[in-house]
């Protein structure tokens, strides 16, 4: 029945795309590209989005001022005439401020032909700040945006003023997607408030501002999340969304981005991008074998399935297989403030117990790169000279004995001062977290550790265990594109609820290096600090670093695709026909 329903969906898709009077013939592959989505987006709103599938769709609808180019990996202009310039200065109190000068390209217009201006950027920032707009990741960045200064002569020219001048804040503001003011604030409610006034409105004071309450409510409604009224400055607009079946994006007429052929993120070669929603990966694989899907991620399937498909002659005649590395790492978080893991010898012993090569073979069939620290090999400043910690139970035993842990009663678990070497490992129950914890438990027992596995949702364990520091071990992942700012995960001030340093790691030398990384204006100095930081982390071993995964997806051989280490790994807007 499920397969039959999927076939009916595909028939509906054919009907949708046949409604256009200027449709290309079905043999022309750039008429439409069909992309599989395993999860249905909850909304198409970049400020409110929470799952990766939403970003996969919205990245072709909404654009930012600048971004990382999918092909070169370089920081490039998207909506700006050139890369914005940053000017450092002091305020009247002697504090440091940074002013970023921005100019939007003259051709950039919304679907109705009205120009994209600084007023749209300002409205977007104000909207994301509203207390009843659920945008925590945006609010974390906007907090350091002090002022937006718009030119009185040209509304496409403006300056962004920030009080925290570290490089990732500037990056985050310049990569924020811009929404059209005349659509999302059609009654100009936000014009009645300066940016600073919006920034100062607290949740408890919002009740007196009824117009802002109504605006925030409308912004979070289906009107601006699912309806065709939603609009960005990207090449594609929402044409149709059939719940549980498909989402159709259609290329805008007279696309202004065609005037910038060298900008990959402005490419719009396909007339339509159709996202086919199939939650069952087995059913999706059946559709793939029937050539009814052009692009499909195999991340939710085992790596063995990916490798088997690569050996299938019927598949290889119709599809090409890709596995670019992602800027993502897997690791085991350790509680450095805990009774047992505050000892570096115990942490290193546990790291020697982890058979990472076996884990990669079991989980990824070899498709993954060992890590020696908290950076992906793709990231600038990665220190390749550090060798990953090797699986060595004898070395683990030696380190434990060095710190006085011995199995005095012969039960296989070491003790010291009458206390057993017992650890709790919190996992989500996912296949990967289960595999990591099970393997570590099995190998660590050989050295004298006793590890208890506790299954708990990531949200619950974060609030109840990680942030309060009531844990020993937890499987985690980090995804970071471009230059990395490890401050929030390793600086002493970022412990607990103050940041992401839930492991309670603290080292004065590392704190200084992190401050250099965050605030220096010299790339050379930052790269040197990156290297020294990784060396110190290697010596302290505050986490067990596992591996960097690779993406696994297939693309129809009808296309010459753009493949990238930038998420999601493929950019269908820039595909060309073979």
Return per-residue pLDDT of the chain as tens, 578 residues.
Answer: 333 333 333 333 333 333 333 333 333 568 999 999 998 999 999 999 888 889 999 999 999 999 999 998 889 999 999 999 988 887 666 667 889 999 999 999 999 999 999 999 999 999 999 988 988 778 877 878 889 999 999 999 999 999 866 677 888 899 999 999 999 999 999 999 999 888 888 655 666 678 899 999 999 999 998 888 889 999 999 999 999 999 999 999 999 999 999 999 999 999 999 999 999 988 999 999 999 999 999 887 888 889 999 999 999 999 999 988 878 899 999 999 999 999 999 999 999 999 999 999 999 988 889 999 999 888 888 999 999 999 999 999 999 999 999 999 999 999 999 999 999 999 998 889 999 999 999 999 999 999 999 999 988 998 899 999 999 999 999 887 777 889 989 999 999 887 889 999 999 999 999 999 988 878 899 999 999 999 999 999 999 999 998 889 999 999 999 999 888 889 999 999 98
pLDDT value for 404: 97
Closest Cα to residue 37, out of 51, 26, 18, 16? 51
Q: What tokens were used for 346?
A: 């115990």
pLDDT value for 119: 98
217-248 per-position pLDDT tens digit = 999 999 998 888 889 999 999 999 999 999 99
pLDDT value for 94: 61
Q: What tokens were used for 283?
A: 């059913």
Distance between CA atoms of residues 257 and 225, nearest Å? 24
Q: Do the beta carbons of residue 306 and residue 552 sit within 8 Å?
A: yes
pLDDT value for 6: 35
Residue 562 burial (CB < 10 Å; 0-12/13-18/19+)? buried
Could you give the C-alpha distances from 481 to 138, 322, 379, in angstroms and in order? Answer: 17, 19, 7
- CB count, 10 Å around CB of 126? 25
Backbone angles phi, psi at 549, to 5 degrees: -80, 170
Q: Do the beta carbons of residue 235 and residue 58 sit within 8 Å?
A: no
Distance between CA atoms of residues 60 and 239, nearest Å? 13
pLDDT value for 93: 65
Distance between CA atoms of residues 518 and 526, nearest Å? 8
**If phi over 0 gives left and psi between -120 and 50 gives alpha, with beta otherwise, what is residue 389?**
beta
Q: 3-state class of 45 per DSSP?
A: coil
Could you give the C-alpha distances from 343 to 35, 349, 350, 388, 568, in angstroms and in order? Answer: 49, 10, 11, 20, 39
Q: What tokens were used for 521?
A: 């204006």
pLDDT value for 285: 93
The beta strand positions in 303-459, using DSSP E, are 319-322, 328-334, 368-370, 415-416, 419-420, 422-427, 450-455
Distance between CA atoms of residues 356 and 364, nearest Å? 11
Helix (H) or strand (E) holding 35: strand 32-37
pLDDT value for 414: 98
pLDDT value for 1: 37
364-396 per-position pLDDT tens digit = 988 889 999 999 888 888 999 999 999 999 999
- Structural domains in the chain, sorted by start: 2-61+234-324+552-577 (3.40.190.10), 66-215 (3.90.76.10), 328-549 (3.10.105.10)
pTM, two decimal places = 0.79
Provide the edge-to-edge strand list for the sheet that holds 246-251: 236-242, 246-251, 272-277, 32-37, 295-297, 553-556, 319-322
Q: Find where tokens 């052009």 sit.
A: 294
Distance between CA atoms of residues 209 and 201, nearest Å? 9
Q: What tokens were used for 252?
A: 């805008």
Q: Do the beta carbons of residue 476 and residue 462 sit within 8 Å?
A: no
- CB count, 10 Å around CB of 11? 10
pLDDT value for 272: 97
**If phi over 0 gives left and psi between -120 and 50 gives alpha, with beta otherwise, what is residue 504?**
left
Q: Find where tokens 């029945």 sit.
A: 1
């Amino acid at each position: 029945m499920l397969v039959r329903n999927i076939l009916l969906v595909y028939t509906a898709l054919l009907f949708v795309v046949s409604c256009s009077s200027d449709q290309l013939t079905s043999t022309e592959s750039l008429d439409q590209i069909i992309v599989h989505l395993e999860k249905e987006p909850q909304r198409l709103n970049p400020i409110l989005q929470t799952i990766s599938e939403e970003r996969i769709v919205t990245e072709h609808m909404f654009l930012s001022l600048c971004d990382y180019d999918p092909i070169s990996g370089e920081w490039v202009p998207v909506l700006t005439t050139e890369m914005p310039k940053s000017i450092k200065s002091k305020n009247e109190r002697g504090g440091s401020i940074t002013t970023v000068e921005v100019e939007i390209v003259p051709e950039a217009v919304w679907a109705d032909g009205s120009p994209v201006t600084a007023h749209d950027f300002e409205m977007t920032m104000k909207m994301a700040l509203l207390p009843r707009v659920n945008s925590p990741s945006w609010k974390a960045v906007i907090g350091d945006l002090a002022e937006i200064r718009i030119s009185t002569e040209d509304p496409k020219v403006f300056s962004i003023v920030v009080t925290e001048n570290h490089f990732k804040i500037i990056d985050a503001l310049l990569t924020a997607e811009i929404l059209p003011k005349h659509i999302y604030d059609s009654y100009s409610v936000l014009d009645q408030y300066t940016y600073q006034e919006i920034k100062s409105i607290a949740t408890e004071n919002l009740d007196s501002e009824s117009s802002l309450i109504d605006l925030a409510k409308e912004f979070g409604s289906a009107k601006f999340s699912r309806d065709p009224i939603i609009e960005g400055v990207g090449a594609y607009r929402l044409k149709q969304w059939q719940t549980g079946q498909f989402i159709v994006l259609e290329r805008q007429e007279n696309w202004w981005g065609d005037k910038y052929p060298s900008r990959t993120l402005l490419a719009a070669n396909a007339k339509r991008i159709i996202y086919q929603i199939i939650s069952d990966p087995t059913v999706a694989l059946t559709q793939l074998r029937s050539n009814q899907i052009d692009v499909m991620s195999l991340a939710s399937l085992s790596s063995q399935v990916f490798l088997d498909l690569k050996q299938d002659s019927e598949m290889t005649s119709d599809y090409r297989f890709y596995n670019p590395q992602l800027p993502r790492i897997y690791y085991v978080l350790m509680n450095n403030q805990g009774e047992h893991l505050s000892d570096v010898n115990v942490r290193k012993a546990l790291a020697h117990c982890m058979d990472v090569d076996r884990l990669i073979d079991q989980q990824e069939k070899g498709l993954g790169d060992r890590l020696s620290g908290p950076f992906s090999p793709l990231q600038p400043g990665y220190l390749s000279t550090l060798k990953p910690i090797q699986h060595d139970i004898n070395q683990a035993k030696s380190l434990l004995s060095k710190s006085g842990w011995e199995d005095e009663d012969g039960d296989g678990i070491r003790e010291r001062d009458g206390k057993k070497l017992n650890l709790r490992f919190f996992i989500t129950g996912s296949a990967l977290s289960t595999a990591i914890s099970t393997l570590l438990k099995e190998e660590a027992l050989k050295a004298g550790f006793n590890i208890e596995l506790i299954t708990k949702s990531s949200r619950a364990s974060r609030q109840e265990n990680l942030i309060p520091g009531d844990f020993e071990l937890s499987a985690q992942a980090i995804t970071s594109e471009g230059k990395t700012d490890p401050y929030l995960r390793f600086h002493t001030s970022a412990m607990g609820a103050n940041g992401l340093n839930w492991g309670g790691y603290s080292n004065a030398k590392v704190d200084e290096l992190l401050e250099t990384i965050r605030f220096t204006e010299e790339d050379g100095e930052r790269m040197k600090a990156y290297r020294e930081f990784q060396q110190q982390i290697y010596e302290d071993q505050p986490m067990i670093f596992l591996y960097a995964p690779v993406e696994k997806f297939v693309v129809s051989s009808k296309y010459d695709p753009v493949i990238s280490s930038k998420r999601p790994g493929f950019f269908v807007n820039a595909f060309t026909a073979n």
